Structure 1
Amino acid sequence: MKDTFLRIERMTSTLSMLAACAMLALAASLGVFQIITRFVLETPAEWSEVMIRFSLIWMVFLGIPTAFRQGAMVSVDVLYRWSPPALRRVLDWVVCLAALVLIAVIIWWGWDYANRGKVQTMIGLEDVSMFWAYLAMPVGGVFSILGIIGNLLDPQRLELETAQ
């Protein structure tokens, strides 16, 4: 059961990180496009700035699950180093539960915000609903839950291991 969950979590974390990287590449490409259209062609594309912001929001929320999975998101390094091994596991559970509560709030309010944003449109992209921008919060939150639980089951303290 644990191995199956970790395999699924690894696939979903990889998928979310690939999507986050794609969003970063899209934002960078649109930034270059915006510079060329604004300063070289002198006819700026209004929609490109909105799409850059949109892709950066998605990039952040799709990158968070990997940070949780690697143990780099909620960092309690000093407490972890000073704690005896028995207390470290308790600390893992406390951090996990706190992170799950935070992500649950983000999912709840993110979904509510996305639904309320259905009637709004993006400036520069009048045909696109703000629902799609706000949807990044609950989608990233669902991926984050898998990363948080995955880190509890198979702790990876890459942040702690690389610190001096």
Structure 2
Amino acid sequence: MRPLLHTLCGLLAAVALFAIMVLTFADVGGRKFLSTSLPGALELTEILMVLVIFAGLPLVSLRGEHVTFDSLDPWLPPAVRRVQQAVVDLLCAAMLAFIAWLMWNKAGQLADYGDVTARLKIPLAPFVYAMSVLCAVTAFVHLMLLAKPVAHHHAGVDDTA
């Protein structure tokens, strides 16, 4: 499951980031050499940034690379740290699942209202649905970490896990 998540989320983030790069290059080149900006470049960049950020969430969680406060870790026994990390993973899963649910409901509202971007008239609901699904995937990743944690920031887990 982890290799599949790495591949799918990594590919989505990479393609969106590459599209941002191409879009920015075309927009800046158009302004510099043709004295005209690419219509809707800002809207597209915003949408693509959403994809980069939310596709990166499961990857960051899978690798245990979230920002952590670990100044007390040297004084806590490994068993206490493992319980602490399990509780944190459980709380993260619960909060991300709740956020996914809220976003799913919001996407439904956006779809009902027919909300679109200002300039290019791109429907917003599919992107909010994607955000919701990626939050749910990240919640699932945190549940996976309860069963099989990664070495980084997890006490008593070696690098081969």
The interval holding the TM-score normalised by the smaller chain is 0.7 to 0.9
Counterpart Cα distance in 1 of 2:26 and 2:3 = 34
Greater fraction helix = 1
1:32 and 2:25 matched: yes
Indicate the larger mover: 92-101 or 142-151: 142-151
Aligned amino acid, residue 106 of structure 2: Y
Identity across matched positions, percent: 24
Q: Alpha-carbon deviations, 1:70-129, whole Å to 9, x = none?
A: 111252433444320211221121111110122012101111121122211112211x21
Counterpart Cα distance in 1 of 2:30 and 2:44 = 15
1:154 and 2:159 matched: no
Where do 1:52-91 residues align within 5 Å? 52-73=45-66, 75-91=68-84
Aligned amino acid, residue 99 of structure 2: I
Unaligned runs of 5+ in 1: 1-7
Please identify runs of 4+ aligned residues in structure 1 that moved more than 4 A.
none
Counterpart Cα distance in 2 of 1:65 and 1:81 = 28
- Once the two structures are TM-superposed, the CA of residue 16 in structure 1 deviates from its matched residue by 0.8
Mark the CA change 1:159 to 1:45 in structure 2 (over 3 Å): closer, same or farther: farther
1:92 and 2:85 matched: yes
Give me the CA root mean square deviation.
2.1
Counterpart Cα distance in 2 of 1:159 and 1:93 = 11
1:133 and 2:127 matched: yes
Number of equivalent positions: 153
Greater fraction strand = 1
Tell me, what secondary structure is at the counterpart of 1:67?
helix
Partners of 1:80 and 1:91 within 8 A in 2: no
Partners of 1:9 and 1:146 within 8 A in 2: no
- Once the two structures are TM-superposed, the CA of residue 30 in structure 1 deviates from its matched residue by 0.7
Aligned amino acid, residue 88 of structure 1: R
Aligned amino acid, residue 58 of structure 2: P
- Once the two structures are TM-superposed, the CA of residue 53 in structure 1 deviates from its matched residue by 0.7
